[in-house]
């Protein structure tokens, strides 16, 4: 089945610096890659997603890049702020899931932004 590997598991940056989180996936047929932010006591919140027909997508300080050849996608957060501190999860659909919407999540990255 699909295996989604996420790195690093923890990331600490100074406020204003950039943060990059990377995920690799195993199924070359995967075509949809969301990123979720989870704050303490809350559910995962979709922050950005990308489909396999584009290589990059931006939304203000957040961007996602996709390298289909290498089967990895990355979350980039620029000008980090303390409120960016949270756990970030990547996800991808497993092979053979058809149109069911099933997502396999990465292990999560705990991002700490130090003021």
Partner 1 sequence: EPEVTQTPSHQVTQMGQEVILRCVPISNHLYFYWYRQILGQKVEFLVSFYNNEISEKSEIFDDQFSVERPDGSNFTLKIRSTKLEDSAMYFCASGGSYGDQPQHFGDGTRLSIL
**Interface residues toward partner 1, by CB under 8 A:** 31-32, 34, 36, 41-46, 49, 89, 91, 93, 97-108
Q: How far is the CB of 111 from partner 1 (least distance, A)?
A: 15
Cα–Cα distance measured from residue 43 to residue 2, given in angstroms and rounded to the nearest whole number: 23
Q: How far is the CB of 16 from partner 1 (least distance, A)?
A: 29
Query: Measured from the CB atom, is 14 or 53 closer to partner 1?
Result: 53
Q: How far is the CB of 93 from partner 1 (least distance, A)?
A: 7
Query: Measured from the CB atom, is 39 or 56 closer to partner 1?
Result: 39
Residues 6+ apart with CB under 8 A from 4: 23, 24, 25, 26, 90, 91, 92, 104, 105, 106
In the block, which residue shows the tokens 């940056």? Answer: 13
For the chain, how are helix, strand and coil distributed in percent, rounded to 5?
5, 55, 45
Outline where DSSP puts E strands in 8-61: 10-14, 19-25, 32-38, 45-51, 56-59
Q: How far is the CB of 79 from partner 1 (least distance, A)?
A: 24
Query: Measured from the CB atom, is 106 or 111 closer to partner 1?
Result: 106
Query: Measured from the CB atom, is 15 or 40 closer to partner 1?
Result: 40
């Amino acid at each position: 089945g699909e295996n989604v590997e996420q790195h690093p598991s923890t990331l600490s940056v100074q406020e204003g610096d950039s943060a990059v989180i990377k995920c690799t996936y195993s199924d070359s047929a995967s075509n949809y890659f969301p990123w979720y932010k989870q704050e303490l006591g809350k559910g995962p919140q979709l922050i950005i997603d990308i489909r396999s027909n584009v290589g990059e997508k931006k939304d203000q300080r957040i961007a996602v890049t996709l390298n289909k050849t290498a089967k990895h996608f990355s979350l980039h957060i620029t000008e980090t702020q303390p409120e960016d501190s949270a756990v970030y999860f990547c996800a991808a659909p497993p092979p053979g899931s058809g149109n069911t919407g099933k997502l396999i999540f990465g292990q999560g990255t705990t991002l700490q932004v130090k003021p």
